[in-house]
Amino acid sequence: MPRSPGSCSPNGTGAFLLGRVYDTGGPQAVPRTPPRVQRFDRDGHVVELDQGNIEPGSLALSRDGRLLYWVKDGVAQRARLPVDASATASTAHTVAEDARGRIFRRGDLLYARLFARRHAVQFDIDGGAFVAPLVASPFAAAASFSASSSGVYEELQVIDMRTGALASHDASRLAGLVLTRHGVAVFLTGQAATDDGYVLDPPRVQRMDRRGRLTPLDAGNLDVHSLALSTDGRFAYWLKDGVAHSARL
């Protein structure tokens, strides 16, 4: 099977690109499997990252060993490589945890890891600015935070600590967040108003599933501190006009 030169990160994670395989049993060679990008860790576990019309020779590793790139259908693709938790433990600072996993900060980067797994996964948050870290293993959530002359922007991110799969959505003016063990996040955003008090956008409660799909749940005169999750993770609650409301998740 043809194989392109591979890449290896400082954490011992390797990656390689397998070329197209042809069936030569007939009068004409017929493609049997498409090109594939795969990664493997120091224990030999292999994970397929992509397959299809991948450009031979396009595989590349970022200088810090955290990002792998390749070209598919003429468009650049990327994958984050796992970080060896044992290499970061001495300088990691835990910011949220439950009985099975934690979110920790190392430098300006934010990671999450199940205690039962060797590798951590990385949020797409750079610069060290984040709010609302929350763990509901095997999922974790946090919101990136940035401010400029045009205002404040927050993006909610939910990550699967088993696979590193990441879902995200705009959550500016984030006031409350709950997360279920199935990766469903419910968040409450505060109102947007002009300096003279004119309301541009009222407080809202929204639901985001593990794939980033958003469902509006409520809007209006919401108590921005009232969001709560039932102990079994099946119901979210909030107050509107002083009255309790709920949604089955």
Return per-residue pLDDT of the chain as tens, 249 residues.
444 444 444 444 555 566 554 444 555 554 557 788 887 766 667 788 888 888 877 777 665 566 677 788 887 777 777 665 554 444 678 999 999 999 999 888 899 999 999 889 999 987 668 888 999 999 999 998 877 666 678 899 999 999 999 999 988 889 999 999 999 999 999 877 667 777 678 899 999 999 999 999 999 999 988 898 888 888 999 999 988 898 998
Domain shared by 183 and 97, yes or no: yes
The sheet with strand 166-170 has its strands ordered as 130-136, 139-148, 151-160, 166-170
Domain shared by 102 and 214, yes or no: yes
Assess contact for 78 and 69: CB atoms under 8 A.
yes
pLDDT score at 4: 46
Domain shared by 73 and 90, yes or no: no
Domain shared by 35 and 89, yes or no: no
Q: The domain that contains 181 carries what CATH number?
A: 2.130.10.120
Domain shared by 74 and 59, yes or no: yes
The DSSP bridge partners found for residue 205 are 188, 218
pLDDT score at 172: 84
Assess contact for 161 and 140: CB atoms under 8 A.
yes
Domain shared by 175 and 243, yes or no: yes
Q: Say whether pTM exceeds 0.75.
A: no
Backbone angles phi, psi at 18, to 5 degrees: -95, 130
Amino acid in position 172:
S
Is 184 among the domain residues? yes
pLDDT score at 84: 56
Which of 81, 104, 126 is the endpoint of a domain? 81
Is 1 among the domain residues? no
Is 35 among the domain residues? yes
Domain shared by 113 and 188, yes or no: yes
Backbone angles phi, psi at 130, to 5 degrees: -155, 160
Backbone angles phi, psi at 146, to 5 degrees: -145, 145
Assess contact for 65 and 14: CB atoms under 8 A.
no
Which of 21, 56, 81 is the endpoint of a domain? 81
Domain shared by 122 and 209, yes or no: yes
pLDDT score at 190: 84
Domain shared by 36 and 94, yes or no: no
Distance CA(249)–CA(247), nearest Å, equals 6
Assess contact for 139 and 161: CB atoms under 8 A.
yes
Q: Which residues contact 139 (CB under 8 A, 6 or more apart)?
A: 158, 159, 160, 161, 179, 180, 181, 182, 183, 210
Domain shared by 120 and 174, yes or no: yes
Is 130 among the domain residues? yes
Contacts of 107-113 spanning 24+ positions with Cβ under 8 A: 110/142, 111/83, 111/85, 112/140, 112/159, 112/161, 113/85, 113/161
Token pair for 64: 């810090």
Chain-centre distance of CA 163, in angstroms? 10
Instruction: Write out the residue range of the structural domain in which residue 136 sits.
Output: 84-248
Q: How many helices (H) and strands (E) does the chain have?
A: 1, 27
Is 2 among the domain residues? no
Domain shared by 75 and 156, yes or no: no
Domain count, the chain: 2
**Exposure of 50 by Cβ count < 10 A (0-12 exposed, 13-18 middle, 19+ buried)?**
middle
Which of 59, 81, 103 is the endpoint of a domain? 81
Domain shared by 88 and 77, yes or no: no
